[in-house]
Each structure stands twice: as C-alpha cells, then as structure tokens.
Amino acid sequence: MTEDGRWQISIDSGTCIGSGVCAGTSPKYFKLDGGYGTPVADEVDADDEVVTAAESCPMEAILVREVGTEKVVAPLD
C-alpha cells in the first residue's frame, strides 16, 4: 500500500480528543503535545505506518495527503 513520494500530515486540533492512539500506534510520526496529537513532522516519506495511525484515530482527526497533488491518502471513507 505504500506509495512513492511524500505525504503531508495534519491533525485537526478542534477534533482531536488526545486519545494518544496515534502516538501509541506510530511514535515515529506522532507525539502528544499539551495532551493532543501532533505530527512529528509536517511532511514525511510515504509509509503505511502513517496510514495505520490515521485510520486508527477514533475521531478521524488525522489527515494524510500526497504532497503536490493534495490527494487524500487517509482516512478513506
């Protein structure tokens, strides 16, 4: 499922409840900051681990898009 290229990660701070699922699932890419999920970096190399974390978020607060095309990678409906 990993695609070539780079992905942009964003978290909707108004939607995030600070469950920590993202940081627990993928500490390489996510951390808790002030009790809320935060991406470690805004852009990352494509990695299935990022998709897993986004799909695991109970509030679907994580949005992963392809850099350049803005195509949504996760979460998918």
Q: Is the pLDDT of residue 1 over 80?
A: no
Task: Encode burial over 34-48: b for 16+ CB neighbours within 10 A, e otherwise.
Answer: eebbebeeeebebbe
The answer to whether residues 9 and 57 touch, using CB atoms and an 8 Å cutoff, is: no
What pTM, to 2 d.p., does this model score? 0.90
C-alpha torsion sign, points 49, 51, 55, 57: positive
Half-sphere exposure (Cβ direction) of 40: Cα atoms closer than 13 Å: 12
The answer to whether residues 25 and 56 touch, using CB atoms and an 8 Å cutoff, is: yes
CATH class of 6-74: alpha beta
Domain ranges of the chain: 6-74
Give tens-digit pLDDT for 7-40. 999 999 999 999 999 999 999 999 999 999 999 9
